[in-house]
Amino acid sequence: MSSFKDLRIVDNFYQTSAFFPMPTVCISTMNPDGSLNIGSYSLCFPYYIAGKDRYAMLLECRNTSNTCANLLRTHKCALNFIPDDRESFKEAVRLGFPGPSSEKMGDLKFEMEPGQADPNDPNRPPVIKTAFQVFECTWAAELEGADKFRVEDIDDGHPGPYNDFNGITSKYGAHFILHIDKILMKERYYDAIVNGVTKNSFPPVPVDYGYRDSTNFWYTRFPKLAKPIAEPIPAPKEVDIESIRYAANRADDTVKFTDEALKNFVKVPRPFLKTVLNGCVAWAKENDVTLITDEHVKIINDKRRAEKDKR
């Protein structure tokens, strides 16, 4: 007999049919009259994380929201990650309730400051000063031809047709793939990421669980006493040189590796070995190299580190 019960899946399953911890993000956008709008969201997650020329977040929201209307029009927003304190979360709940932007923003409790991406662009919204980090973003409207959607077509939802993953995706739903233009970080947490994170250097991050009933918005406080716990990552097992040579010989017909070069890859996790070897082959072809040596691998690694630092 199973130890689980089969729970019916319904609309908004992440909050009605599940316990699903999520971030608390206040998204700032600009209204048509040049005024500020802020809406609170939790369905905002990393989307493009590697292997692309840009990084991106995915936002899911109602297509009748002020945030959706402003993104369709301006393509710009800022994702403000608020810290865990009761007053900030209370304000986030208030801003998350549907309603006219002018009414909600009239009594705004957050102090704002200019962002750093395109400071002369009137479509760039200011950011919340007390946020511990901010992602300044641009909507990738060209994907799936999502720039065809217009605010004027939305009344009681959108009549369709709909896109699958970007733009208007259902009568009341929208998805926005948001390219990250800048990540702004408070100095304390910037220093932690650059110089090394410890259990005392994490920002106080609230985690919410969505509306579970008609009365309360449920969330959990950042643990004040129980600090984050570090669990060491298992040391990667070294891959034997024969396995690496086998993979290297099949990476390309013309570009080969010396054994000294292949020794650099003994600690590369097996799922990533092919990617690493292919990257070396691509560099070799760009530089008219047919035999990759240990010295070549050092050059490739230095180039990769420089590109990472530049990003």
Domain ranges of the chain: 13-220, 241-310
Helix (H, G, I), strand (E, B) or coil at 220: strand
Element (H, E) at 249: helix 241-249
46: left (phi over 0), alpha (psi -120 to 50) or beta: beta
d(CA 231, CA 159): 50
pTM of the model as a whole: 0.80
In CATH terms, the fold of domain 13-220 is Pnp Oxidase; Chain A (2.30.110)
pLDDT in tens, the chain (311 residues): 899 999 998 888 887 788 888 888 999 999 999 999 999 999 999 999 988 889 999 999 999 999 999 999 999 999 999 998 889 988 988 898 877 888 889 889 999 999 999 989 999 999 999 999 999 999 999 999 999 999 999 998 999 999 999 999 999 999 999 999 999 999 999 999 999 988 888 898 888 876 556 677 777 777 665 666 665 656 667 778 898 999 999 999 999 999 999 999 998 887 788 889 999 999 999 999 999 999 999 999 998 888 766 65
CATH number of 241-310: 1.10.8
Amino acid identity, position 98? P
Helices (H) and strands (E) in the chain, counts: 9, 14
